Structure 1
């Protein structure tokens, strides 16, 4: 199987090396924050104040959290732009944020140093800027600021048009937008993501540093910060024109705002980044004039040429035990050079021409040879089945026990062919009852043989599988069924857990599998049970201190039921009929009475009533100073009236049988009594009391 893909360049800037990339550009470790941190980057922080120079500080090296920040939320937007600026540009996993909304003259920088070669001569960065505009309150040099500078290996500024320096009121590159945060009259000026590319080929073989700097205003009240990402690539026009192509695609480098393609005669062809050429002719020349958003211009040229290469190799086992294979590369090409990438199919690769590789597993492997043909980008990929062998790595997978009524499948691995004691030679064998002793071995295609492996196949032991729970369901209620003993469950309700909620009667089936995969099925019937009914009576719902007994009676038409009375005073009994005496009647309270009926399945019903303790008023009293019944209804609001309507007594202390200091005659008198009942309600009693002496 072959894959062809290509890149080719003959360009107008002469390169000083024949070192080309096969895949990703070299010399750019964590340049674009691929590791999610600032590894390889150098950070500085300092404070510069013009309103109070004593608060200024020297530059301090080191990454400072909050001032140097890796942004990782690819869905987030900057709130200080009204949600207009995405904090990570499309196509990137991370970005760096330089600065923050903290104010006070904070300045910070991040820099990266890279040695320039043919693989990274085009440095491309994307940046976005957020500056709080002090408008007319500051000199320009005191405003929030963002700056990008290229430095040579001596630390001197490279006079390149990609250098960028912008203050809050001086957006040298067009495209800034203005946003007024809620409740603020000071604008935020911000620039969306902008792409810039720098041609560093003049510094081939030297180190170049790119430095990003953000700054607050040099007073204390306005902030400035920015975001950026960075990448590098060869400064070339790539031409996709390889074996079998009928069209060529010329791709100019990214990082420029405009592209102008011309043919060898200077005629304009197109203004796109990627130019499609129909019926390409080898030797045909194209020129691309590119300009970045900073006004920098670069001109590159390329010549169309077809590169043809063919990947081929052989593989040979070194022996019958080491699992090592020697690969011999037989690839060919028509021009350029060849580089190689071997993929051994187990996560390991090699860039050697003729590698010797020790595989992790024995047997057949799918190996790929990816052939690169620089300076083009044409690629040819060849896949082959390759054999290795090591007896300790030959074996089989599968259970050596089988489920009752079924069998077990064993799958051999690690060899080219296999032999089982049953006479079968396939890699897969199916064994079942009655089981027994077996052996197995593997062979390579070149005659290598593994040791014989002996094993026993037997029936899987029986295992416990059961269902318990609520098989009787009281009407209107729910219950649970519980299964245990398996590792996988499937109920006829569709549930796949060990317990289910049941809310209606019916047959419930469950299938379970143990760790071996053997299955059992069980069925349980859930029956709905009606709620029993009860009828009960009390002989009285009101008692007092003199009459404190209540006759209780409960009956039911249902069989096999039990009664449970709760009289509200701590007395509980299961007797259907009885007389109860309330001992605490000195206070006017209410006793809540409940009677519960339960059938043999635990289904029950509870009904409730009450018994009130009322005030006892005697109808005779004898005020003869013998200490017994000398006062009538002391402690209550009492009024006594004789037969002529004369009020003999009114008060709370109780009537002592006197009127105006003299003993009242033995007679019958009328009383009016006010009191508070058990529910804190005002009650009135009227009646007659007989005074005897």
Structure 2
């Protein structure tokens, strides 16, 4: 038996131009340069660089720039620096191509800390920098950053000044003054300036990681003007070391074992060191005795991989273990025997069990591998193994889908033991045959159906591969089903009517009833007891009886619920005078028949009716609305119709009819003798009306007048009567005042001639003492106010001429006007 472990030696080697063995370094593309220090084209060094790199205004230039500007020297135009097995590729000269650093970045255009990031992260065993310093040497700390977030401090490097340092990688390319135009000054040729290689080993424990970037931190020195320039990075890709081994164990009684290692990968050269005595230093260790061995493989980077191996003695003798039978049922025995070949063997022992002897018998309870050991003539232990398989005892486990089942329904058995189709299944249904499997497409399902109620025992024994299971039993209870039926006390019913629903079937006291009332709402009762149910709409009553595991459904009953009519009516009038006809509007709903009782002995069966009440009194009206001659609603309105006597209009007048009355005496007194009236209206024949009960009236003009009286009661009943003629004649003698005083005191301010009101065709003229007309009117409805043309006339006596009608003698005389 062998185990292999790897120990990685952490080591960092920083050099100048020392080459770590002859490994091949290839360029690593990076970004992060901060300065363009190479003049590569044109005639203006300032235009094609970004900064000077020393204290005397110098930059690097290419051979191409030198040729264009008449100077010698310069670095290679391609920027590819090759030295032995290493190659560096400088960044493009047309962009930033150097990481220009100084202490804390105190020199213009420099940084104190800079990071170069790999374009493609990769695992490396060795890295190398192309760099140089100006204004004396510089010290820079190098940190490796990996993609897994870890970092390693790779140590400090001393970057030598570009003049005179050794050992160098390349030199003698000259330096150029940074000017905008020729002539340029070149110095340092033929041996300066110089660039140096700085190699460092990636720590052994980190070589398998992907390098993401390299961080440089400038360490302040004695000269604050010193600067460091890092131009390129190269590296050696990491190849992990792997190995294989061939082991030959030693024979008992000898030292002829060996281990042969074959290693690939890693960094050459590889060296080996075994823990033998004396130490063996090749890939193969020979002449080994049994024991524990290690070999340290060291690669060219001083990284160590350690190999662990164990050699055991190998005997020329062997033993063979046999079991008979190799497969047994649980509780059965198997005979074990061991036979030796190739030498003398003794001291047989079997395990587990620590049983002695070449032959024995075992009764395992589970699959067991038995190991038999013995010793050969050199006391070397030899061994063999034999397996005894204990066949599983099949399970007869099964489940009953329904431990209780209703008579007439099959029950299902589910075999859960998992024996499979090759097993033999011995079912006993205890009174019904077990049939199956394959119920529902499942081969583990069986079924059985009993013909009588009772409790039955179902058993199963399973035999598989010659092994029988214990007997498993379960009980099934078969229940007799209930009888589900019911009756309803009334059907059809009216809306809101309550019926009695009675269970008429048979069931145990534990039975559960599930009613569906189909539009009804139970009012009382529970379970299978009589139930009072109120119905508001039609529906179907259904009943399901659950008695244990048995369920039965009764024949449903459809309830016909007739919508109960709603009686409603309105009369067009509720109060009237004898005789009065009332129109009744029937507003009943859900009705198809009607019966009216009108309170005066009258009845009707039409929907809408008219009825005439001929006698005074108060009447109660009842309407019975019916539906399908089964459901009725009655509405009675007590004292609904009030019939009262009608008014009787009559009156007398003083003076009476057909008596000529002079206008001045034409004041009439009317006496109202009406009955059953509360309001009155008089029409006097001249367009004038009055609402007084007993009016006094005077006509303004002569004529024959008809007077009409309208008598009404409180509910608008009316009667009228007329009398004619009331005769008004003009005054036979005109009364003329002989003085008036129009002084505005409200007394006698006008010369009023009332008798002229009955003479609309009269003419009145008034003259002063000089015969001048001071007043004239045709008709005389308003008396003269003593004005002439809007101005008061003076006090005095005035002469008047009054012509009452054509052909009549005029009235003449004097009237005194006083102020």
Look at both structures and tell me which one has the larger radius of gyration over its CA atoms: 2
Per chain length, whose mean CA-contact separation is higher, i.e. which structure has more relative contact order (CA < 8 Å, sep 6+)?
1
TM-score (ref. length: structure 2): 0.25
TM-score (ref. length: structure 1): 0.29
